[in-house]
Chains A and B, each alone.
Chain A
Amino acid sequence: MIPLAFDYARPDTLDGALALLAEKGEDATVLAGGHSLIPVMKVRLGAPEFVIDIGRLSELDYIRVDGDEVAIGAGTKHRDLVTSEVLGAEVPLVPAVARTVGDPQVRARGTLGGSIAHGDPASDLPAAILALDGKVVLRSPRGERTVGIADFYTGVFSSVKEPDELVTEIRLPRKAGVGWAYEKFTRRSNDWAIVAVAVCDGKVGLVNMGSTSLRATATEQALADGKSIAEAAALADEGTEPPADNAGTPAYRRALVKVLTRRALETASGV
């Protein structure tokens, strides 16, 4: 399978990339690791006229503690999330989730920013960042703004990101010593989640239970009200609209999410 023809540029600097993105606007698509974009282009669901390759911008490749947050450059590869000592100490949910993304070859290329910007509701990391109440930093030649990830997604593959904006950084609150867990259900080891559940500090993020990554708000409320884990987990599908596909029916996913939420909450609380 071969993508439709496009023009290609690999700017040397972030400013160069932003200027080019502003110039090309909606005709352009940003390529980082390419492991979401290239498969979509190969089956011609995506056909950008212009591809801006930011995959080698070292300016976007960092993980550092910044006050009470951890800042992760959008170009950080999944493999580096897995092995990061900073994340392991400060936000251990992220390495645990990144470890389940694709397979070693995919993790060697795919980036956190790419996964967040792409916005596939079946992706692992957006739901984890949601459970962490993370923020997305967007930059364009007009300036920089920071959006809570809960306000970022507007639908399948769509977000509040403007055509001239680039996801440059993810900011996460430091969560050392807090209970967390990730329960991912797949039939094959390197596959997308049929359903997955990320838990951190009583917050619950759901993978593949609707058109965007979701929070299980009814479960979170039940926990805050002092209900048992079993009672709270039974509410995990409230407000969701799980997809129907070859991997499962909506009813199957509703049943699955309750089981996975219970397991994740038990692990996170040390039961």
Chain B
Amino acid sequence: MKVQISVNGEDTSADVEPRLLLAHYLREQVGLKATNIGCDTTSCGACTVLLDGEAVKSCTLLAVQAEGQSVTTMEGLEGASEGQPTHPVTAAFRAEHGLQCGFCTPGMVMSAVSLISHDDDLDERKVREGLEGNLCRCTGYHNIVRAVLVAAGKDPDAEQKAEAESDALRTAPGFSRGESAEEARA
């Protein structure tokens, strides 16, 4: 049957079988290969794209379900082609080295774009929860989380700094209540 789907702002259409998955539509019909199929079991999130602005796993959607809707893939972000300004999430992944082999990266980036658009006050815990649908088989999560925080305009070291400050206070002379109490008694 015929489907029409807007992909990265351009109208696409094809005559497809209803069983065609959206991930295959994007890769094979439209020819956009950033959307990766990792696990094919709705677990890994490498196939994550935005459907009407919402992060979804395109291996678990039929292309016909997206009929008339709008899909954004990694190729649709600014800076995917030369001469464009780089999308803040892509730039942050680059700056913070939020990638290792890179296979999971397009899905991670699309989840991050969705996460940042839904929450303007992200912290590390929220980022980790928000990325629970995206697996990095290199287990490189640390720099990915930093990259998302940077892209969200947050200081990725804020929590470490706070911890270091409280450590510094704890070891400062006269801070310990126990010691002060003993000193007071003395």
Chain A residues numbered 174-222 whose CB sits less than 8 Å from any CB in chain B: 189-190
Q: Are B55 and A105 in contact (CB under 8 A)?
A: yes
Q: Are A8 and B62 in contact (CB under 8 A)?
A: yes
Q: Which residues from chain B contact A5 at a C-beta distance below 8 Å? A: 17-19
Chain A residue nearest in CB terms to B69: A56
Shortest beta-carbon distance from B87 to chain A in Å:
20
In the assembled complex, B184 has its CB within 8 A of some CB on chain A: no
Task: From the candidates A1, A2, A3, A105, name the one contacting B48 in the complex (CB within 8 A).
Answer: A105
Complex CA gap A2/B37 in Å reads 12
In the assembled complex, A73 has its CB within 8 A of some CB on chain B: no
Q: Are B62 and A34 in contact (CB under 8 A)?
A: yes
In the assembled complex, B75 has its CB within 8 A of some CB on chain A: no
Complex CA gap A34/B21 in Å reads 12
Chain A residue nearest in CB terms to B130: A104
Q: Are B40 and A1 in contact (CB under 8 A)?
A: yes
In the assembled complex, A53 has its CB within 8 A of some CB on chain B: yes
Shortest beta-carbon distance from A109 to chain B in Å:
6
Task: From the candidates B18, B56, B57, name the one contacting A8 in the complex (CB within 8 A).
Answer: B18
Known: A103-B133, A105-B55. A38 touches B60 (CB 8 A): yes
Q: Which residues from chain B contact A31 at a C-beta distance below 8 Å? A: 62, 65
Shortest beta-carbon distance from A2 to chain B in Å:
6
Q: Are A109 and B61 in contact (CB under 8 A)?
A: yes
Chain A residues numbered 24-42 whose CB sits less than 8 Å from any CB in chain B: 31, 34-35, 38-39, 41-42
Q: Are B1 and A105 in contact (CB under 8 A)?
A: no
Task: From the candidates A1, A6, A53, name the one contacting B65 in the complex (CB within 8 A).
Answer: A53
Chain B residue nearest in CB terms to A38: B60
Task: From the candidates A1, A4, A38, A102, name the one contacting B62 in the complex (CB within 8 A).
Answer: A38
For chain B, the count of residues having a C-beta within 8 Å of the partner chain is 31
Q: Are A35 and B42 in contact (CB under 8 A)?
A: yes
Q: Are B19 and A4 in contact (CB under 8 A)?
A: yes
Q: Are B56 and A105 in contact (CB under 8 A)?
A: yes
Shortest beta-carbon distance from A11 to chain B in Å:
13
Q: Are B61 and A103 in contact (CB under 8 A)?
A: no
Q: Which of B18, B40, B41, B130 has the most CB of A within 10 A?
A: B18
**B-contact bits for A153-184, CB 8 A (1 contact / 0 none):** 00000000000000000000000000000000
**B-contact bits for A94-122, CB 8 A (1 contact / 0 none):** 00000000111110110000000000000
Q: Which of A2, A38, A39, A41 has the most CB of B within 10 A?
A: A38
Q: Are A106 and B42 in contact (CB under 8 A)?
A: yes
Chain B residues numbered 15-52 whose CB sits less than 8 Å from any CB in chain A: 17-21, 24, 40-43, 45, 48
Complex CA gap A39/B65 in Å reads 15
Q: Are A104 and B65 in contact (CB under 8 A)?
A: no
In the assembled complex, B115 has its CB within 8 A of some CB on chain A: yes
In the assembled complex, B124 has its CB within 8 A of some CB on chain A: no
Could you give 20 example pairs across A and B, Cβ below 8 Å? A2-B21, A4-B19, A5-B17, A8-B62, A10-B64, A34-B61, A34-B62, A38-B60, A39-B41, A39-B42, A42-B40, A42-B41, A51-B18, A53-B64, A103-B45, A104-B55, A105-B45, A108-B54, A109-B61, A189-B132
Pairs A-B, 5 closest by C-beta atoms: A103-B133, A8-B18, A189-B132, A3-B19, A105-B133
Beyond A2-B19, A2-B20, A42-B41, 20 additional pairs, beta carbon < 8 A: A5-B18, A6-B19, A8-B1, A8-B18, A31-B62, A34-B61, A38-B21, A38-B60, A38-B62, A51-B18, A53-B65, A55-B65, A102-B42, A104-B111, A105-B57, A106-B133, A108-B54, A108-B56, A109-B57, A190-B132
